[in-house]
Structure 1
Amino acid sequence: MQTTFGNREGMDEMSEPATTTQLVEESVVQFAEHLAADSPAPGGGSAAALAGALAASLTGMVGRLTTGRAKFAEVDATMRAIATQADAQRAALLTLVDADAAAFEEVMAAFRWPQASAEQKAAQHRHPGGLQGAPLPSRCKH
């Protein structure tokens, strides 16, 4: 999934930022710079998904450091299962880094629609982008 990011300075409200990138492909420094920028996305959801992915990475590391060691033989199977589950959670959370930012950008695009009539206001509230962001947090609950 590609998400659009960039500096909004000097842009009118209907313009899109100039650059397109995948957040998960960026360096930590670049991601932190995007979070600090004057753009509403990426924001807290993307940062939380990344933090969760890092936690899952550490959980997987502990599982792998524990398996195959004689003194932990009795928990070997459990730790292998934990590592496997942590890897799956890490992968899922990394997809949500970009998904959250993309969903929020769609919500923001819906808010930029003209609102000259009651019909246009109603259409804005029905816009699929306005609903895209809602299910994302529930996908992180596991």
Structure 2
Amino acid sequence: MLQCSIKWSNIPNMRRISSSYSARETLPDGRCLYIRAIRPSDRKRLHDEFHKLSAASVRDRFFNVKLDLTPQELTFFTEVDFSMHVALVAELEIGSGRRPVDVGRFVRILLKNSVIKWPISAHQITAMIGSLR
């Protein structure tokens, strides 16, 4: 898993990320990648995608063996305030639809010198997401 860290204090416009945030990028191979704010309606899809993760990926993300997500965890992951907790979904355009490829989140614990960590899964899309500038 790749990880990129950014000092929270270096991002003065962080408040611009809200529940309506969305962006579109064109990948080097011409496909479209959409990045948008997570929504409560993503709850079922996030739960379904969790069950597709390998045991190693779950361990890397949760630092523990985990067989399922609790209702409380699903609420925490999908109902964020976009101030202290921001979560973005990356979706790849496939035909007329979109397929989720990753979720990145950052939670501000301290008001100063907090760090944003964006995990990039060992997915086929990793190289493409990691190379966006």
TM band (smaller chain): under 0.3
Larger RCO (CA under 8 A, 6+ residues apart): 2
- 1 or 2, which has the higher strand percentage? 2
Q: Which has the larger radius of gyration?
A: 1
TM-score, normalization by structure 1:
0.23
TM-score calculated relative to the size of structure 2:
0.24
